[in-house]
Structures are given as structure tokens and as C-alpha cells.
Amino acid sequence: MRSSVAIVLFFTILLGSCSKDKSGLQAIAPTHMSSYLLDKVEFKNSNTTAIYSYNADSTLAEVFYNNELAPSFTAYAYADKQLTRTAVNGEPAAIYSYTNGYLTTVTSSGKDSATNGYKLVFSYAPNGMLEEMQYFTADSSGMHLHTTHLYQYNIDGLPAKITSIGNSVVTTTVIHGYSEECDFDAASLMGPAVSDDLYMIYNYSLLTQLNRLPAEIVVSRAEGRNAAVVERKYNASFTITNRKLEKIKSVTTYSAHPSNEEGDEWVFHYK
């Protein structure tokens, strides 16, 4: 796990009865609602509290990050209870587009997006599981493919390995274990930055498929023809009661500096 206040967590997707169209995607229910509404989350190590407010239909309206050094807020907009837009500190941030209930693109929408933006393109297997995520960056000459993330799953339908390819670098992210099941709205704790080091896991598309939190993650990196080297490991323990996540304690270790562990603790409060 990361020590950033923008931690992201998994939550349960509600799969509806399905029909297929020519795209091969199965139509799913457009609503991904959690059984619990967050009141606040305390990020102990960063001295930050995230405060949550909701719309009348229980969709997340806003998260205010109460930090005395850099307070901020993220707002969310919906259509038929599907997340369509986000804004950070009042400025447009991203646009979300769907096909048959599946998220297909996320595009940055800030004022500098044309020359300093990004686009995520999601592809799915016939069974509806996320198969590929392409990350494009923008500059004055247009959009350019930066990284392609390829997903493999274990027998339980949980991500087991993610291979990320870009600029002659191959990063392999292996998830060795998961928490017990827990219930979360993906939008409520989604990480805001595609540059985050675990965004290949903590993105809105993958979050909406899953109902468990990763307990052990190992990230390896290989450049060119060089052998892969383990860069970092993430370990987390959880307090979960009746599918309600109450606490996370995490430790991050880096192979190059094994004595420099980063620990953090998050405490969750509900309305």
C-alpha cells in the first residue's frame, strides 16, 4: 500500500443479468452502490482527515481532504448513478465514458489537458473482466501511448499478475494475497493520479470488479534485456467487520533501501 492520502480500496460490483451486443461486452447494472456510507477517514501518518458527503441517492458528492498544509477537495458527477466527471478544487479533472455499463475511457479535462493531459482506454474479456488498460499521455503533438497494462487472474477471478509495458521497461506486479471480502464504493476512495505507482491496480475499472483488498503486492522491474529486479513490496493487514472496513495498517519496503520502511494506518468512520 501507499502512504499517500489518496489511498484506493476495492469494493463489490453488483453484476446484473446480462445480454451481449456486437461489441462482445455484457450489459451490466449501472449502479455500483456500497452498503456503507463513509463519514471520514483518518490518515494517521500524514495528519490528514478525508471528510465525505453524499447526494440524496447515496452517490458520493465530495471528499474534502482536511490537511493544514494543503487542504483540497474532489467533487463527483453522475448520470444514472454512473460516475461521469470529477473535479479537483473546483477545476475539471476527468471525464468517464461507458459502453453497456463498462468503463471504456477516462480522459483528463483540465485546462492544460491538450498539451499535458492523459487518456486511459480499457478493454475487457468476453466474461467482462478487465483485460487491458492503455495509458496515453498528451503533448503539443497529440496523444502518445505511454504504457500498456495486461491483466491475469487467479482461479477466484482476482488479479494475480499485471504486466506493464512501456519505453523498453517491463514492470510486473504480482498480488500474492487478499483480505476477506469488504464492501466499498469505488469512487469514494479512488486515487486521483494516473502517475501513482500502483494505479494499475487502483483504477476505477478494476475497483468496480473486485470485493477484496490486496494484502501482499510485489513489484519487479526489467529494463531492456536485463533480468527483472524486485523494486518494492507492499504488505497490509485489515480490520473488517460484517464486510465493513474499519482499519488498514500497511508497510512498504524498497529493495534498494530495505531498512527504510514506510508504514501507515488508516481508520474508517461511517455515517
Residue 245 falls within a domain, yes or no? yes
Number of domains in the chain: 1
Measured CA to CA, the distance from residue 64 to residue 123 in angstroms comes to 32
Q: What is the CATH number of the domain that holds 83?
A: 2.40.160.190
Residue 74 falls within a domain, yes or no? yes
Q: What is the pTM of this model?
A: 0.84
Contact 191, 201 (CB under 8 A): no
Average pLDDT over the chain, rounded to an integer: 84
List phi, psi (to 5°) of 133.
Answer: -125, 120
Residue 6 falls within a domain, yes or no? no
Residue 22 falls within a domain, yes or no? no
Residue 20 falls within a domain, yes or no? no
Residue 27 falls within a domain, yes or no? no
Give the whole-number percent of the chain exceeding pLDDT 70. Answer: 85
Residue 125 falls within a domain, yes or no? yes
Residue range of the domain that includes 238: 38-270
pLDDT confidence band for 28 (50 / 70 / 90) = very low
